[in-house]
Structure 1
């Protein structure tokens, strides 16, 4: 016997968080998508246990009519598929009605990126932005680490301080689904990290002596609920750094720096599979959005070296 509809979703989300090891942001995304889907089914007097493929397609048609982007509709269908996969495994359904529904697909757009000169300007400006010298040292470290490793912003701000001890040449990063990967550090990033650790540790020791505060386990501690710098804070910070660097803030986000990391590596001759490992992509197809860089490089290679291309 299947539980009530709301319990379907809460049990699924609990299982994703506990058993599948899904990242918190992934679970929150599933929750938002499925809450909207449940609102639709309840408005039509439908039960999740009895839903048909046609009912799910009707929901997707409504999403399209509301003007939702292809990527949003594809994500919502994925959430519904995962819910029914779980329901099938639990014995609540004898099938997965969403399995054979063709999704809208994602619009193929080239990733936004920055020129090397623009990134250099951002890195230079990062050390001048901040109310105090400690803030400036921290901000430079954040930007150097982001560009040197291509980390996701959530991976960067939640780095444990233990991973940065001992002047490491590599950082151990915990990514989506709690999967771990090693990313190398450039000399400027190691220098910025060492400077920040010295400043951070001195501030922690001073706070401990004054307030008997417990030392933070995070590299970038804060008074937030999680104990580390919130992603939203870093998003706002990177806009200030862009202004200081005379780069349009509308073009600069943490994810654009991640794209710049991958694009610049490929332009320099890096292998696509190596980029996949560094970015933490589970599937090479995700990394293939950068193949436009390879195509440009191959075209230049032919024009420069093929005998028939010479005047």
Structure 2
């Protein structure tokens, strides 16, 4: 079954989050996703608020940039969310935007090495292990969580390039793909993830793939979608993004699901005029069409 989510984009001020969370929860949305974009809202603080303001919607943070975070802090915060809101939080770690990392003096010489070390340590700490490690970037001396999660916590990685996708397969429990990934890109990502799993002796293990889908609906949907794709330099990529009514959006969701995405998250354009309406549209109009569609 395809899970369906929507994004609260950090172009919106933090005080808008509560109304969007309540709309998502009341409408029955599967997942509401948040971003930790520099230099906007913090991922953990907004996730904690969203979880506290809601009763059932699951909340994802995609993603937390690892150059900004000591892995022990990431583990502490993740464990706290999972103990307070069991089964409702999904945290994703990744490289972050390297120019932003440079702005704060945290740009690593080897982003791939840092992400791999962070993933290994984070998964171990959340599993209740006590760690002493001396890596290139991650250094821990007899560290264990006093309050580890009470059940297994999947750790996902944000991934775009081939090496990071293989790393995700080898050392993470899932991958998050950006809205610049069309269905053929999802298929290729799945192949690279599986290569990484085989190389790490993890072939056949579950690996959740989350794909963002740039989405516009309403009278000016096509124009807003084209403008955002052009602004991102993506206007020439075929089969990227969707504009239209619920049936049109549901068909685009199905194409991503058939390509290998287990979760599809609708990403509104940066100028979406009504974010509360967008999450209701996702949950009440698109979700039933996705759930009732026949599988190929």
TM range (shorter): under 0.3
Higher RCO (Cα < 8 Å, 6 or more apart) = 2
More helix by share: 1
Instruction: Give the TM-score, by structure 1 length.
Output: 0.22
